[in-house]
Amino acid sequence: MMPVSMLALCAIIGSSFGLTDSSSRRACSYVPTIIAEAEKNDIEPSLLAAVIMAESSFVPWVTSTAGACGLTQVIPRWTGGPETKNRKYTCEQLKNPKVAIKVGAQILSYNIRVYAKGNVNKGLCFYSAGTICLRWKNSYDRMHYIKIVKKYKSILDEDGC
């Protein structure tokens, strides 16, 4: 995995995604955690940042209608298994950016390694839709969520991450 400059990732997130100045500053404050958790979980920082952009646009207090919380939009009832090292998390805990990034990175990494056997697209499918991906065979490649994450990741990678 290529080392990522915190300053580069911060600058790229703000300019590439058209965030407001305050949103860009907030996103930049998460960069050290994004890089650290990506490295701990053997995933690319640009992939984790792209997931965060797709899930929450770097807004930490977001809760979806499905009950997903925080930057990485994790559903609390789906925590507590091997993906999160058997630790349960509440929505309030997941609204803490450091917790959300850590838990999101753990789940994403586990999905890619275990469920998807190294296939990143399939791992993203599991992250977004869960075990329904088992029934989709290779059709998950056409999933809108995967296209969005890959687009954001591509922007970050093209700009030097």
- How many structural domains are present in the chain? 1
What average pLDDT score do residues 124-131 get?
A: 89
Is the full-model pTM beyond 0.85?
Answer: yes
For residue 40, what is the domain's CATH number? 1.10.530.10
Asked if pLDDT for residue 3 goes beyond 50, the answer is: no
**Inside any domain, residue 81:** yes
Q: Which residue has the higher pLDDT, 2 or 95?
A: 95
**Inside any domain, residue 69:** yes
Helix (H) and strand (E) counts for the chain?
7, 0
Rounded distance, CA 25 to CA 13, Å?
A: 10
pLDDT in tens, 71-99: 999 999 989 999 999 999 999 999 999 99
* Residues with Cβ within 8 Å of residue 24, at least 6 apart in sequence: 13, 14, 15
**Inside any domain, residue 161:** no
Asked if pLDDT for residue 161 goes beyond 60, the answer is: no
Q: What is the pLDDT of residue 8?
A: 64
**Inside any domain, residue 1:** no
Domain residue limits at 78: 6-155
**Inside any domain, residue 160:** no
Task: Give the orientation angle of helix 144-158 with respect to helix 120-129, to 10 degrees.
Answer: 130
Three-state SS string over 8-45 comes to HHHHHHHHHCCCCHHHHHHHHHHHHHHHHHHHHCCCCH
Backbone angles phi, psi at 28, to 5 degrees: -65, -30
